[in-house]
Amino acid sequence: MSTLVISDLHVSVETDQGTKQILKGVDLTIEQGSIHAIMGPNGSGKSTLAYTIAGHPKYHVESGSITLDGAQVLDMTVDERARAGLFLAMQYPVEIPGVTVSNFLRTAKTALDGEAPALRGWVKEIRESMAALRMDKTFAERNVNEGFSGGEKKRHEILQLELLKPTFAILDETDSGLDVDALKIVSEGVNRAKANTGLGVLLITHYTRILRYIKPDFVHVFVDGRVAEEGGPELAERLENEGYDRFLADASVG
Ligand code: ADP
Ligand code: MG
Ligand code: MG
């Protein structure tokens, strides 16, 4: 059973106005096989947490640590993080001109495993996952993220998740821009990955809508760069009814 531990994490970025502190002491422990929702108002630092786990060079870790089964994630390159079992789906995925989905997936899988996947099984697996995500076969031959609609980008993320089989996935605003049908399909994919491979998920979301389809085991409310409150699924229901006002009032006093 793998564990991802974030301890007293402080993160800053350089802006035109100087150094800006964004994360101000984040503590979070995620066990494999459980789903943690990170919820919070815009600007509270949710994406910063995702980028920091991903190793984005813009985000400077001032202090604290992120460990995966005791190994320092912060000392790992981005590739090493992926090989260690971390999967990051970004709020704004990048285009990769000239690289098809099919080639991209095979290259990523080969890099992760250290050897190319056996062709027949691999082709079958891609076909099955694409069918489950209701993706047209021709999608595999399109260039990564080039001209993808919002829904296609998200499905492509979940396709990666199903095929690359990470230990932990960080999903940042996976629900944004999805209609209900696409949201259900994407959510089912995440639930399948949890059931099939014991995936642990850090599900970052501003809205409670996706939590109707992906049931969180734990909910953490993020305010002003730290976890302000945590609880079970009932906390998401409270936020759905009450919004973030109570927390924002608290933050401005402190
Ligand atoms: P969230 O995802 O919760 O909306 P973010 O992590 O995107 O929050 O942003 C938190 C705060 O940090 C915001 O005030 C945002 O403007 C600022 N911030 C984030 N990234 C950068 C950056 N690269 N440069 C300058 N400011 C940033
Ligand atoms: Mg935001
Ligand atoms: Mg964000």
CATH of the domain at 28: 3.40.50.300
The domain total for the chain is 1
pLDDT score of 53: 96
For residue 202, the CA-to-ligand 2 centroid distance in Å is 16
Does ligand 1 have an atom closer than 6 angstroms to the CB of 13? Answer: yes
Would you state the pLDDT for residue 254?
44
Indicate whether residue 44 lines ligand 1 (CB < 6 A). yes
**ipTM for this model:** 0.95
pLDDT value of residue 93: 61
**Residue 121 domain boundaries:** 3-253
- The pTM of the full predicted model, rounded to 2 decimals, is 0.92
Q: Which long-range contacts (CB under 8 A, 24 or more apart) does 29-32 make?
A: 29/3, 29/4, 29/5, 30/3, 30/4, 30/5, 30/168, 30/200, 30/202, 31/1, 31/2, 31/3, 31/200, 32/1, 32/2, 32/3, 32/167, 32/168, 32/198, 32/199, 32/200
Which portions of the chain are predicted below pLDDT 50?
A: 253-254
User: Using one digit for the tens of pLDDT, what is the confidence trace for 182-208?
Assistant: 999 999 999 999 999 999 999 999 888
